[in-house]
């Protein structure tokens, strides 16, 4: 019976017709076996419509951004001001060209977040919350920028109220870091700028200027502490320092940022 189940479909169709019509030229000894095989074959009980619609996505529901639709809490010490930006040439403007901006002021400083024209931020002063929405949630680009702009607003509010922090750890023999008021290889870009002096095994020291709005300190010779109100500037400067000695997987040496770890590899033996 198992052999009959593997017959080709044209032959099986011929055999089924032969069982219904005895006038076909079929050996008489095959008729009982074919009849039993056809009767024992399981048939699908599912309707044909469910088979075709099972993989068809249901139309209609609007896409929502889990991050973008979450309200932002505004601390009492943070003040927000919404204002319009000057309009330029409307013909050459990009769809993401901002027409509004939010000025975020707190005890640690002030930041400005520009908003694209399709994104709207509503400030509930009584509840101390900000809700962000877009014009068309079905459009992929607007849906992606929905969560991005909400994260930028959240980072700005956290920055002016609490600040952002990045800790760098130097791992390696002789690796050291100091903060110096002057440098010999780079020039200052603003008055009072400090410089991070790194000794990373090169023939010369590495000197990097601290960006405006960022405070750098070295509580230990192998630790660098970066603080600032703008999260993007703090993390970008930390990545710039890390580029001089990226963590390598064989000896575990390098500059590690914010609890970064690396899995060590076995040494290659020739």
- Clarify whether residues 170 and 143 are in a common domain: no
Residues 154 and 169 in one domain: no
Residue 53: the pLDDT is 40
Tens-digit pLDDT profile for the chain (270 aa)?
555 455 456 556 655 665 555 545 555 555 555 555 555 555 655 554 444 444 434 433 456 666 777 889 999 999 999 999 887 655 556 778 888 899 999 999 999 999 998 888 888 888 899 999 888 888 888 888 888 999 999 999 999 999 999 999 999 999 999 999 999 999 999 999 999 999 999 999 999 999 999 999 999 999 999 999 999 999 999 999 999 999 999 999 999 999 899 999 988 776
Q: Which domain holds residue 193?
A: 164-257
Among residues 127, 161, 195, the one where a domain terminates is 161
pTM across the whole model: 0.71
Whether 173 and 129 map to the same domain: the answer is no
E-only strand ranges, 68-175: 72-73, 79-84, 100-106, 109-115, 119-124, 129-134, 164-171
The pLDDT value recorded for residue 256 is 97
From its phi and psi, is residue 116 left (phi > 0), alpha (psi between -120 and 50) or beta? beta
46 within some domain: no
Shared-domain flag, residues 194 and 147: no
CATH number of residue 157's parent domain: 3.90.930.12
Phi then psi for 34, rounded to 5 degrees? -65, -40
Determine contact, residues 228/159, Cβ cutoff 8 Å. yes
Q: What is the pLDDT of residue 52?
A: 41
- Provide the β-strand partners of residue 215: 227
pLDDT at 102 (0 to 100): 94
Domain total in the chain = 3
Final residue in a domain of this structure, among 161, 194, 224: 161
Query: In 3-state terms, what secondary structure has residue 153?
Result: helix
Are 155 and 181 members of one domain?
Answer: no
> Which of 114, 137, 161 is the last residue in one of the domains?
161
Instruction: Tell whether 50 is covered by a domain.
Output: no
d(CA 97, CA 118): 10
Do 243 and 219 belong to one domain? yes
Any domain includes 56? no
Q: Regarding beta strands 206-209 and 214-220, do their DSSP bridges make them parallel or antiparallel, or are they unpaired? A: unpaired
For 182, counting Cβ atoms within 10 Å of its Cβ (0-12 exposed, 13-18 middle, 19+ buried), the class is exposed
Residues 171 and 231 in one domain: yes
Query: Do residues 32 and 82 both lie within one domain?
Result: no
In a domain, 54, yes or no: no
Q: Is residue 242 part of a domain?
A: yes
């Amino acid at each position: 019976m198992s052999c009959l189940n593997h017959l080709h479909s044209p032959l099986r169709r011929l055999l089924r017709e032969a069982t219904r019509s005895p006038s076909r030229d079929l050996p008489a000894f095959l008729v009982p076996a074919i009849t039993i095989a056809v009767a024992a074959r399981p048939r699908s009980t599912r309707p044909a419509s469910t088979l075709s619609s099972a993989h068809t996505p249901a139309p209609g529901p609007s896409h929502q951004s889990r991050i973008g639709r979450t309200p932002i809490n505004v601390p009492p010490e943070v003040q927000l001001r919404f204002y319009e930006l000057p309009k330029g040439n409307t013909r050459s403007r990009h769809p993401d060209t901002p027409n509004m901006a939010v000025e975020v002021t707190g005890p640690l400083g002030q930041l400005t977040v520009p908003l694209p024209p399709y994104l709207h931020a509503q400030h509930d002063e009584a509840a101390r919350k900000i809700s962000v929405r877009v014009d068309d949630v079905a459009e992929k680009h607007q849906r992606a920028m929905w969560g991005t702009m909400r994260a930028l607003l959240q980072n700005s509010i956290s920055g002016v109220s609490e600040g952002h922090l990045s800790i760098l750890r130097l791992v390696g023999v002789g690796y050291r870091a100091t903060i110096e008021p002057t440098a010999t290889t780079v020039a200052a870009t603003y008055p009072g700028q400090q410089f991070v002096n790194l000794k990373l095994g090169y023939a010369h020291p590495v000197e990097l200027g601290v960006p405006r709005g960022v405070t750098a300190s070295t509580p230990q010779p192998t630790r660098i502490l970066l603080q600032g109100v703008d999260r993007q500037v703090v993390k970008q400067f930390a990545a710039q320092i890390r580029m001089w000695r990226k963590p390598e997987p064989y000896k575990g040496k390098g500059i590690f940022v914010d609890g970064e770890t690396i899995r060590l590899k076995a040494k290659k033996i020739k």
